[in-house]
Structure 1
Amino acid sequence: MSFGRKVFQFLKEASIAHAKWDYEVSMSIIKSRKKLMILGLMLLPIILFSFANANDMIGGKTAFGPAFYSDTIFFGSIFVGLIAGLITGCIGAGGGFIITPALMALGVKGILAVGTDLFHIFAKAIMGTTVHKKLGNVSVPLAIAFLCGSGVGTFIGGGINIALYNKDPLLSELFISALYALLLGFLGFYALADFLKSSKGNAGGGDAHGGPTESTSMSVKVQNVKIPPMINFDEDLVPGGRNISGWIVAAGGCFVGILASIMGVGGGFITFPMFVYVFGVSSMTTVGTDILQIIFTAGLAAIAQYAIYGFVFYTLAMGMLVGSLLGIQVGALTTKVVKGIHIRGFYAISILAGFINRLATLPKKMVELEMVNLPLAFVNGFEFVGNIIFWIIVSVFGIWVIGKFIVNIGKLRAEG
């Protein structure tokens, strides 16, 4: 397997793992009247005050925050959450990758989109996670080492974003957009190639995203690095258990924290494959640690690195949360009446839509920063086309999924 294919498989499994977590916590909220009541209370400030009069409280031109609040952006955030939820629920991967790019496409500054997405993930994790049911197999030493590293990483990643923004807001926009273009481009083109290959060999359907295929040879090498302190884990699953250097686990946590804090993805999308493929930790032990990591990393990054500086849009976070809860439920039900091969194709297309959107913004940012000399009309047009392509693709996807759901609602109801 080529290096590129290995990286794609790693990212793909990461995306799937995060989508699974997102689905579980969303269903936990939807099925609980108590949690829905808490959500209603969280929405109360938005409902009680008119948008115009609540600007000072929820983020506006007179509030301490680098964005102008408008009703359009709020309703747009519900739409963004809905689409991300449909992608997560229907495809089983990828929805979390388009939230920050979609918010930026709506006109939200990059650093604010990152902080708001992190806060949205943190709010969902706190509300939806049934921690006591999942922590039975957690290795406490593993969790402590990883969380120490991720805590440091959130300060590094958040510090990078804030430093770039303070130097020049356009530099921050360029940095975040370039990172997303790189990630989504790599993942999207490999996913497209994977879809085309699958459609030739199996036109009838199949699983939307398959299962893990990565070997654990890397984990064997990692566990052979004996740098104390060594951490023992999986004693109940393997005679004598396994062990790994605490420094390696902390370094992995630091990497996750940096990535989460810079891109606003919570870190959950990378933790699961890192533990399983790189560290060699069992899936049972990984699940509980992943839950702790998402709550800790997203919360620390959202509050300590973004909220205290005014880089969290509470209103937009709540809009995304409401939209995603609805989208995930509809998307998950729709998978019962659509072919797997179609889902796989939409996965590739939706990721590439995000890639096109962020790529299209780069020339304009570079011109404004005086890095290149291109006609302003050209870069403005290029950015406009990228936005149009993005919103057309995600809207068509949303209409297709919701249409399939409505047409087959009788069949879905009969299935229970």
Structure 2
Amino acid sequence: MNFFRELGAFMMAGARAHAQWELEMSRNILGSRKRLAVLALFIIPIFIIGIAFAADISQVMPDLPKMIGGKKAYSPAFYSLGIFLVSIAIGLLAGFITGCIGAGGGFIIAPALMSAGIKGILAVGTDLFHIFAKAIMGSVIHRKLGNVSVALALVFLIGAVAGTTGGGMLNRWLYELNPVLSDAFITTIYCLMLGFLGAYAMTDYLKASRAMKKGPQVVDHGAHGGGEGTDLGNLPRLLQSIKIAPMIRFDEGITEGGRRISWVFLVLSGAIVGLAAGIMGVGGGFLTFPIFVYMLGVSSATTVGTDIFQIIFTAGYGSITQYAIYGFIFYTLAMGMLLGSLLGIQVGALVTKVVKGITIRGFYAMAVLSGFVNRIFALPAKLRSLEVLDISPAMASGLEQVGVWAFFLVIGGFGLWVLSVFIKNLSVLKGEEVIS
């Protein structure tokens, strides 16, 4: 039981590190005219493509649909204002969660897209591309990466590239075999991940609430994952004692003489993270923290830097080589989500100045659990289509609708709450007053 609590704490720490990176990327883009100009160059073609489709130019240029995703992955394969506005709303809500809660809101993007009728493989590819676009425009390698070990990161990326390739190939193979099977597989993976993380987040929230009722206390945000990592557990000691050359040195500036670990464990770790990124489209960063700190014995400072480093290259490699060239990216959605998330993150971050942290943690637990409910209630309909589950069409459709409504009511309610708090406290925020 203690293992699962620590794993949950490390996953939360990884989500927080990723959220901080997203906040910095958002500030970098919105604070630079040059980067905003680049963003505009991405957005303008979307409207041009929309006009082209409205004029039925695809009759003149039959290859145009393939260039922006094709009809193989989703339907309809054309731009509409409604699709673009929905994507902005999804990005905005994800940004609220990232900025306000300080943990990755990317967990809700794929469930939201799938609930809106987008096939799972397209949701994954589009999410990866959205992460990559944000990273590129926000600056590829930030100076604040701190103690990132280049050797550690590069060896890790060998495994990450292999894992992302495997995840992308698996998703494409399942889609070619049966699109419903592909959706069912991605849905099941999200059920497992969101179920575990949501259960941990809710338990953590309830524990913190009870502690607050007893009196002011300092709340621990994550086992020994938040320190400098000078103390090693039994598993990291064991893995670092296995000498399979070449040995990679890291953490020289944190512990005397640094530490060393075999390249084999770094490649295997990268493969696990890359596989998650390739299958789920969330960048895989939420796994880097628990694997590095809990299993490999890497300090949290080095872990954060390496996590950011791998997300940029893993998302870029995965989105382009595993999804874009096969037509599994909906660029209109990606750009809409990027616009929405840039604004949502900033608003969410400001709201944290006037709202108690315990309230925000409660909302995060509800948001993650709503994603879990959404996917678990969508699964019976897919299993019925695969003739694995014998239920009536009405029941399958009813369960799916319950999941969709529960998800969007919780996420939408959270979004409205964030906006209302932001508007009501504009004068306070302008005066730089914060809640104690």
TM-score by length of 1: 0.94
Rounded Cα–Cα distance in structure 1 between residues aligned with 2:241 and 2:139: 34
CA deviation map 1:226-278 (0-9, x unaligned): 22211111223322211000110011001111000000011222223432332
- What's the counterpart of residue 273 of structure 2? 256
State the identity as a percent: 53
- Unaligned 5+ segments in structure 2 are 59-63, 226-230
Aligned equivalent of 1:221, options 210, 230, 238: 238
| Structure 1 consecutive aligned stretches of length 4 or more whose deviation exceeds 6 Å | 58-62, 204-209
CA deviation map 1:321-358 (0-9, x unaligned): 00000000000000000111110110100001100100
Inter-CA distance 195–10: structure 2 relative to 1 (3 Å threshold):
same
Aligned equivalent of 1:170, options 180, 188, 194: 180
- What's the counterpart of residue 154 of structure 2? 144
Offset at residue 58 of structure 1 (A) = 8.3
- What's the counterpart of residue 79 of structure 1? 89
- What's the counterpart of residue 228 of structure 2? none
- What's the counterpart of residue 22 of structure 1? 22
Q: Does 1:32 align with 2:32?
A: yes
Aligned equivalent of 2:74, options 60, 66, 70: 66
- What's the counterpart of residue 425 of structure 2? 408
Inter-CA distance 107–7: structure 2 relative to 1 (3 Å threshold):
same
Aligned equivalent of 1:88, options 85, 98, 103: 98
Rounded Cα–Cα distance in structure 1 between residues aligned with 2:145 and 2:321: 26
Offset at residue 71 of structure 1 (A) = 3.2
User: Is the 1:205–1:339 Cα contact (8 Å) retained in structure 2?
Assistant: no
- What's the counterpart of residue 252 of structure 2? 235
Q: Does 1:115 align with 2:119?
A: no
- What's the counterpart of residue 4 of structure 2? 4
Rounded Cα–Cα distance in structure 2 between residues aligned with 1:199 and 1:47: 48
Deviates more, 1:247-256 or 1:59-68: 59-68
Offset at residue 129 of structure 1 (A) = 2.9
Inter-CA distance 288–60: structure 2 relative to 1 (3 Å threshold):
closer
Instruction: Give aligned pairs, total.
Output: 416
Offset at residue 15 of structure 1 (A) = 1.4
CA deviation map 1:131-187 (0-9, x unaligned): 251356432221221011101111111111111101000000000001101111111
Q: Does 1:189 align with 2:199?
A: yes
User: Is the 2:7–2:290 Cα contact (8 Å) retained in structure 1?
Assistant: no
Letter aligned with residue 67 of structure 1: S
- What's the counterpart of residue 331 of structure 1? 348
Offset at residue 412 of structure 1 (A) = 0.1
Inter-CA distance 182–209: structure 2 relative to 1 (3 Å threshold):
farther
Tell me, what secondary structure is at the counterpart of 1:244? Answer: strand
Offset at residue 61 of structure 1 (A) = 9.4
- What's the counterpart of residue 153 of structure 1? 163
Deviates more, 1:173-182 or 1:264-273: 264-273
Rounded Cα–Cα distance in structure 2 between residues aligned with 1:247 and 1:171: 33
User: Is the 2:125–2:323 Cα contact (8 Å) retained in structure 1?
Assistant: yes
TM-score by length of 2: 0.90
Offset at residue 392 of structure 1 (A) = 0.6
Offset at residue 281 of structure 1 (A) = 2.2
User: Is the 2:164–2:275 Cα contact (8 Å) retained in structure 1?
Assistant: yes
- What's the counterpart of residue 288 of structure 1? 305
User: Is the 1:94–1:351 Cα contact (8 Å) retained in structure 2?
Assistant: no
User: Is the 1:207–1:340 Cα contact (8 Å) retained in structure 2?
Assistant: no
CA deviation map 1:36-86 (0-9, x unaligned): 111011101013343534874587896554331443222111111000000
Q: CA RMSD for the aligned pairs? A: 2.2
Inter-CA distance 47–320: structure 2 relative to 1 (3 Å threshold):
same
Rounded Cα–Cα distance in structure 2 between residues aligned with 1:353 and 1:313: 25
Letter aligned with residue 32 of structure 2: S
- What's the counterpart of residue 344 of structure 1? 361
